[in-house]
Amino acid sequence: MLAEIRTEMTESSMTQRDKLRILVTGGGGFIGSHLCQRLLDHGHSVICLDNFVSSSPRNIDVLQGHPQFELIQQDVSLPLTLQVDQIYNLACPASPVQYQLNPVQTIRTNVAGATSVLELAKTTGARVLQASTSEIYGDPAVHPQPESYWGHVNPIGLRACYDEGKRCAEALFFAYHQQFAVDIKVVRIFNTYGPRTQLNDGRVISNFTVQALRGEDITVYGDGSQTRSFCYVDDLVSGLIAMMNSEQGFTGPVNLGNPEEITILELAQKLTEMTASGSSIVLKALPQDDPRQRMPDIQLAQQRLNWWPSTTLSQGLARTIDYFAQELARVNRTSPAGQPIHSKDH
């Protein structure tokens, strides 16, 4: 309850600020669309930039008629000429299934996209936030992962296009801050889930939920003993906004995620129970460079942002299950056969 009150206080203080013109790159994505909606609810004008390569325009259907919402369909790596007060840079495929399809474009999105938003920030004086990732820690030798940990990453592996792309984007942000005094904020996002995730997203909660609802085998890679921690999207968005509006000069990076750890096998069992599914759990080989442990140390976010997640895993999963059940019903109306969900990501 205390966590909920503190989160509400952080957001209510935001609503008292002057209304801003805010650019959200990747605003049509899973997290980006929730962020756009929250910013509009706070009374800001929002420009959503997305090329919809890895996201769906359906995510922002509900926003399209809003008088303070604008959509620009464009690749983030192209030059930007806008007048804005704040920039949230969320543009990049986040699922291994998506980013491994075109590793060169993934690196370009991370590096050229970061350069593009930083140049815009330098020109306009806007504050710019980089949505980095827990993947920069790789398969960690330190657990839980604090921001001071430099990581354990394979620079030429299957995940390198995303991991190293995000690491380079962080380096670019700090270089622009040091050389040109650009006002930056950097967050490292840990596993996040919730409504508006695509059915074929390829990450573990969407995979397990869709498989369970379809009555298919639930595919667990490895022996299921690897651990993750999962943050509900509403909590994550609150953290992004808190970081963007934190004190001048506090750049981060800051971990945003849920510090409650669960094994992948336990997650599969929990979702099977919550969906009342008859699915069997099937073990398969662990993919290359799949981390054994992933959990954030969020002490810095607690101390400097007064933020921590308040949605329990059971609460968040219930809302996510409802969403996927509705999505499957919609898809089945247009394509009754459906397609099985496969992934190698946890």
So what's the pLDDT on residue 289? 63
CB 51, CB 73: distance < 8 Å: yes
Residue 206 is assigned to a structural domain of this protein: no
Domain with 102 in it: 2-192+233-258+290-310
Given a cut of 50, is residue 5 above it in pLDDT? no
- How many structural domains are present in the chain? 1
The tally of CA atoms less than 13 A away on the side-chain side of residue 44 is 25
The reported pLDDT for the residue numbered 263 is 95
Residue 328: inside a domain, yes or no? Answer: no
CATH number, domain of 58, equals 3.40.50.720
Q: What is the pLDDT of residue 17?
A: 52
* pLDDT mean over 131-143: 93
* Tens of pLDDT, residues 83-106: 999 999 999 987 777 778 889 989
Q: In this structure, is residue 83 part of a structural domain?
A: yes
- Would you state the pLDDT for residue 325? 95
Rounded CA gap, 209 and 201, in Å? 11
For 115-130, the pLDDT digits (tens) are 999 999 999 999 999 9
pLDDT digits (tens, 9 = 90+) for 225-275: 999 999 999 999 999 999 999 999 999 999 999 999 999 999 999 999 999
Q: Which residue has the higher pLDDT, 332 or 247?
A: 247
Residue 281 lies in a domain: no
Give residue-wise pLDDT tens across range 278-291.
Answer: 999 999 887 776 77
Q: Are 231 and 320 contacting, i.e. CB atoms less than 8 angstroms apart? A: no
Domain-located, residue 270: no
Give domain status of residue 158, yes or no.
Answer: yes
- Determine the Cα–Cα distance for residues 182 and 203; give it in Å rounded to an integer: 34
Report if residue 140 sits inside a domain.
yes
What's phi and psi for 148, nearest 5 deg? -75, -15
The per-residue pLDDT for 54 is: 85
Instruction: Tell me whether residue 205 is in a domain.
Output: no
Q: Tell me: pLDDT of 9 over 50.
A: no
Mean pLDDT score of the chain: 89
Active-site residue numbers?
A: 162
CA 273 to chain centre: 26
Which regions of 204-331 does DSSP assign to beta strands (E)? 218-221, 227-228, 231-232, 254-256, 262-263, 281-284
Where residue 73 falls among pLDDT bands split at 50, 70, 90? very high
